[in-house]
Structure 1
Amino acid sequence: MKIIRDIEALKAVRGQLSGSVGFVPTMGALHHGHLSLIQKARAENDHLIVSIFVNPTQFLPGEDLDRYPRREEADRKICELAGVDILFMPEISSIYRADEVKLKAPAYLGYILEGNRRPGHFDGVVQVVMKLFGLTRPTRAYFGKKDAQQLRILQKMAEDFFLPLEIVPVDTVREEDGLALSSRNVYLRPEEREKALSISRSLKRASRLVMAGELESEAIKRQMHEMMKDIDVEYVAIVDRDFKPLEKVEIKNTIILVAAKVGQTRLIDNLWI
């Protein structure tokens, strides 16, 4: 595995690659969710590039940029064992420049739900991902379904800019107790973690309701809120694949999304129907 920190060195190595290239962009603190992306990319491509870059432009003032978990040595070992060919770990100064051209997230998708709670967050996401795409020139790029809104925005970015790559969605990975894997789970105290389980349990309740024939969005959301009454729920949304609100669940075209704070930790999760 080659570890590259320099932009020009990455360009040189990328230029020597023939065949398909899989790319998994991450912010490090790798867990089994990231590993599922890496393994799928490894299986589907001739070469595999993983980036680790804690992107400052997607954090809002007061968010956890400074305390975002960083575990460089462990991350390197995980990537090596998973068969990563190139691990790209740039410095902030090499990625961003003064007075540079800026991308913005779409006016609707970028400013509802997560975008409403974190205005400007998706602007930072599309900015850094476009840069990383330009550097790695992947055949396929892999993103988790847990960040469903981010996934749709990046799919739209690839469509709108005619990028010659495929965005590959990968299913959410969960702990044995149902909690969706997240680098932020380490912030949860034991009693908070127990409360956080109500998020995934509410989504299971929604799934059972739909399977029993309940398709009314408001009825489903009421039961979900009841299950999460002991945590600070920011939103429960039932939308189609383009994130337009649905009055009724549409099978194979619905995502149910939850965002909540448990203590000081903000968590998101969702269910694809």
Structure 2
Amino acid sequence: MQIFYAIAEAQEYLKTQQKAGKTIGFVPTMGALHAGHISLIESSRKDNDLTVCSIFVNPTQFNNPEDLKKYPRTLEKDCELLEAAQCDVVFAPTAEEMYPALPKLKFDFGTLETVMEGKFRPGHFNGVGIVVSKLFHIVKPDKAYFGLKDLQQVAVIRQMVSDLSFDLTIVPCPTLREADGLAMSSRNMRLSAEARALAPHIHQLLELAKDKLLNRESSAHTQAFAEDYFRKYPEFELEYLEIADFDTLEPISQVNVPGKTAICMAAFLGGVRLIDNIVF
């Protein structure tokens, strides 16, 4: 496995591989890897000759400086996991390498920035758009793999790829869960033992909300049910629960066609912000 820290060195190596006719799959991450990330690596390896994983905690997508400071950084362990998963290339630049100067360009993703993550994390998706577009230019992948746990991020990146005519395919991959239903996330390692024991209530609530919608209850009643549910568990601070169209993420009042209804939520638990969603 090759590890690169400099943009120029990574580009030179990857250009050589592309000239040799190899296809490239790309998995962008912020490190603190878990089985969900490794499943993306495995998907890429099945589809491509070469798999590249980036590890970069991107400062421009954090609107909360404390969140950036506390984000887990485990590069050595991450590289061990990637080598075991037979990843071919790791690109792990510093912030100074990626941003010699702060970017002046601003992305506007329209209504996607006014709901859910966009509403509660102003500037977040601008930072995502900047770093992912830079990574796409550096790696020049044929396919890029993203987990559907970050459903809104996938929608934003799809729009960016379409609007800017990036010559690559976005491959969304299913959310991996722990045995108790908790969505795998790098943030989970920040949970205390007590908070970790409570965290599966997020997925349980999503399943209950799904049942209510399938039983023809309204979005408003389902959202009110979610608020009542978490009143029984004051350790949680529910930030939002939205019922939305899978493609546009605009709010909907009733169940959509199969596979196109998304329930998305964010909540704080023990000072850790967790997100999850369910699509049906």
Bin for the TM-score computed over the shorter chain:
over 0.9
The aligned counterpart of 1:159 is: 162
RMSD: 1.4
1:6 and 2:13 are equivalent in the alignment: no
**2:220 matched residue in structure 1:** 218
Conserved 8 A contact 1:232-1:262: yes
- TM-score (ref. length: structure 1): 0.95
Paired residue for 1:228?
A: 230
For 2:211, the aligned partner's letter is R
Give the deviation of 1:226 after TM superposition.
2.7
| Structure 2: unaligned runs, 5 residues or longer | none
Count of aligned pairs: 272
Paired residue type of 1:232: E
User: Is it true that 1:127 corresponds to 2:130 in the alignment?
Assistant: yes
Q: 2:270 — aligned with what?
A: 263
**In structure 1, C-alpha distance between the alignment counterparts of 2:94 and 2:272, rounded to whole Å:** 27
Distance 2:25 2:161 in 1: 15
Distance 1:99 1:77, change over 3 A: closer
Which deviates further from its counterpart, 48-57 or 93-102? 93-102
* Secondary structure at 2:73 match in 1: coil
6 and 176 in structure 1: CA distance in 2 versus 1, 3 angstrom threshold: same
Would the aligned equivalents of 2:45 and 2:51 in 1 still touch at CA under 8 Å? yes
Normalised by the length of structure 2, the TM-score is: 0.93
1:215 to partner: Cα distance: 5.1
CA distance in 1, matches of 2:179, 2:109: 36
- 1:26–1:53: 8 Å Cα contact kept in structure 2? yes
1:107 aligns with 2:114: no
- Report deviation, 1:98: 2.2
Identity %: 40
- Letter aligned with residue 267 of structure 1: L
Unpaired runs of at least 5, structure 1: none
Q: In the TM superposition, what is the alpha-carbon distance from 1:252 to its structure 2 partner?
A: 2.0
Q: CA deviation at 1:133?
A: 0.1
Q: Report the more deviating stretch, 189-198 or 178-187.
A: 189-198
Q: CA deviation at 1:102?
A: 1.4
1:246 to 233, 236, 252: 252
Deviation at 1:246?
Answer: 0.2
Q: For residue 219 of structure 1, report the CA deviation from its aligned partner.
A: 2.6
Structure 1 residues 189-231: Cα deviation after superposition (integer angstroms, max 9, x where no partner)? 12212222211001111233344x3252223223333332222
The one-character-per-residue Cα deviations of 1:164-191 (angstroms, maximum 9, x if unpaired) are 1111111111111111111111121122
* Aligned pairs (5 A) from 1:73-112: 73-98=76-101, 100-112=103-115
- Structure with greater proportional helix content: 2
Letter in 2 for 1:249: V
Write the letter of the residue equivalent to 1:39.
E
- Structure 1 letter corresponding to 2:198: K
Q: Partner letter of residue 158 of structure 1?
A: V
Q: Distance between the aligned counterparts of 2:108 and 2:178, measured in 1?
A: 31
> SS at 2:70's partner residue?
coil
